[in-house]
Structure 1
Amino acid sequence: MEDKRDDWERIVGGTKAANGSVPYQVSLRIYGVRHFCGASIITPRVILTAAHCVDRLKPEYFKAIVGTNQLRAGGKAYDIRKVVQHENYDDNVIKNDIAIIFTEEAIELSDIVDVVELNDEPVMKGEELLLTGWGATSYPGRLPNDLMQLELRAVTYDDCQEAHTAVNAVFESQICAMTKAGEGACHGDSGGPLVREGRQVGIVSWGIPCARGKPDVYTKVEFFMDWIEKTLLEDDEEHLMFIQRKKLNGY
């Protein structure tokens, strides 16, 4: 079986994202220095990522950096209070690959730092999706300083299953996307957001490294909406913030 993760560290064939164009993008960094995964801001105190990014990783070992398109300049680092992996995450077949990160303090929102709305509607074949992340732009290669982006098209569940028959199972809790050989995701993009018209539909999970013309596989946000809300409501601090936001917004 081909390894699905060891070379998962780059957007191949992408272009530079304009400064401030992806305000929800997060860089997860070991001790706040070495980028290892992407993520997204979903509330001022909550970040969404892939379970495999934070598997067996203690909160004190990494930080979340927001507000910059560059790995080596700018941004603000936030300490991590707690990490919650999906209770049924299976790293053997990469199933339920989703995790929530709670920050110690609220992330300061601005023109270049903001939350992303989560998608709760089906994604149809051929729809345009946007992938963003930091990863080397060739394989093998080094991570770029600049945040990269790539426009993709949604692939059907059946087509994705067929493409990966000899590699790994594809589940209904996942969605797939691709363009062509020479364009796709890899390491370091893991955990990052896949977005449709400003709403996050997927979390980078796995693929055949790198950009070999096979669909990349993403955790389907729509499938896990109940789990996300349940996890937020079970956290005492975030529950209080959630109730306060509901009162503020009048619902």
Structure 2
Amino acid sequence: MEFLTVFLLFGVMAAFVSGVPLPSSDHQAFIVGGEDAAEGSAPYMVSLVFGERVMFQLCGASLISRRLMLTAAHCLEPFINDDGGLLHTLHSRVGSNQWNSGGTMVTLKGCHLHPQWDSTNIKYDAGVLVTEAPVELTDRVALISLSYDFVEGNEEAFVAGWGRTGPKVEGNVIHLQPTPDDKQVLYVDILDHDQCQEQMQVASQHNAPPIQRAVEICSFHSRGHGMCVGDSGSALVRLSTMQQIGIVSWGYMCAMGAPDVHVRILGVKDFLEFTMSLYND
């Protein structure tokens, strides 16, 4: 892609276009700009990790049934083998504020990607993981309800996750800060489509892909606050209803003043309802 520093928010960052200076860094390394989540909060959150002897944090996901975890398609695609199954190096953890300890490791059986997933244009970026056995629900492990309402503008929401806590800019090079051990939370505003499209095009110097209103929803807090690598797949939750309305998908750099783009739950309703109908708890 020729998108200027557009990245998928799990661990792949596009190369910077030569000759384009990076904006000055005026934020701190704190998701970016978030805060430690309260212990036991967001009990629907799943940490997706990969590796064998040494584990690395990959993405977030949300528990939408005792057998199913909702995440971004681009988080799963690299872990699908030639037979369509999952590589054994992909793991999940529930019930902990830490991605690397506590809670319960859940064995994964397979996955479903949205049939219209377009990795080139980053559209329909939704995937569902299937667990080997039903997940046991506790005070630390709970399901989140999905909202098929059309939400846009003048709404408050939040995202919890374990993404990198910020970029450190040195010259024209960006160094991402380490993955936080503790789950972070950031409260954001939902933008209307026109506002998001305008801000994204300005931030990317008109090189970002267009925002598709029917299948994407944007959030924004301020410069120095936003999603970063590792937050992909995490749930965008509407504060007024505590229901999931989006899936963290992609963005332009990390918290450098551009909106974050999420898959709209309403936009992938048919896929979700069909997939959920295949599995009984």
Same topology, TM > 0.5: yes
Query: By how many angstroms is 1:4 displaced?
Result: 1.9
Is the contact made by 2:9 and 2:227 (CA closer than 8 Å) also made in structure 1? Answer: no
1:162 aligns to 2:198 (yes or no) = yes
Aligned length: 237
Over aligned residues, Cα RMSD in angstroms?
1.6
Task: Report the secondary structure of 2:165's partner residue.
Answer: coil
CA–CA separation in structure 2 for the residues paired with 1:117 and 1:6: 25
Q: What is the match of residue 49 of structure 2?
A: 29
Task: Report the secondary structure of 1:211's partner residue.
Answer: coil
Is the contact made by 2:8 and 2:249 (CA closer than 8 Å) also made in structure 1? Answer: no
CA–CA separation in structure 1 for the residues paired with 2:156 and 2:108: 33
Of the structure 1 ranges 50-59 and 38-47, higher mean CA displacement relative to structure 2 is found in 50-59
| Deviation beyond 6 Å, 4+ runs, structure 1 | none
Query: By how many angstroms is 1:106 displaced?
Result: 0.7
Q: What is the match of residue 149 of structure 1?
A: 185
CA–CA separation in structure 1 for the residues paired with 2:67 and 2:101: 23
1:169-190 alpha-carbon deviations (Å, 9 max, x no partner): 1112000000110000011100
1:216 aligns to 2:260 (yes or no) = yes
Q: What is the match of residue 57 of structure 1?
A: 79
Query: By how many angstroms is 1:7 displaced?
Result: 6.3
Which residue among 218, 223, 242 is the counterpart of 1:176?
A: 218
1:2 aligns to 2:4 (yes or no) = yes
Query: By how many angstroms is 1:164 displaced?
Result: 2.5
Ranges in structure 2 where 5+ consecutive residues have no aligned partner: 12-29, 81-85, 168-175
Is the contact made by 2:190 and 2:218 (CA closer than 8 Å) also made in structure 1? Answer: yes
Task: Report the secondary structure of 1:35's partner residue.
Answer: strand
Of the structure 1 ranges 167-176 and 147-156, higher mean CA displacement relative to structure 2 is found in 167-176
Is the contact made by 1:7 and 1:209 (CA closer than 8 Å) also made in structure 2? Answer: no
Give the number of the structure whose residues are more often helix, by fraction.
1
Is the contact made by 1:39 and 1:48 (CA closer than 8 Å) also made in structure 2? Answer: yes
Letter in 1 for 2:39: N
TM-score (norm 1): 0.90
Is the contact made by 2:73 and 2:125 (CA closer than 8 Å) also made in structure 1? Answer: yes
Is the contact made by 1:8 and 1:210 (CA closer than 8 Å) also made in structure 2? Answer: no
1:190-240 alpha-carbon deviations (Å, 9 max, x no partner): 01111013100110000111101111000001221221011222x3xx1xx
Ranges in structure 1 where 5+ consecutive residues have no aligned partner: 243-251
Q: What's the % identity of the aligned pairs?
A: 36
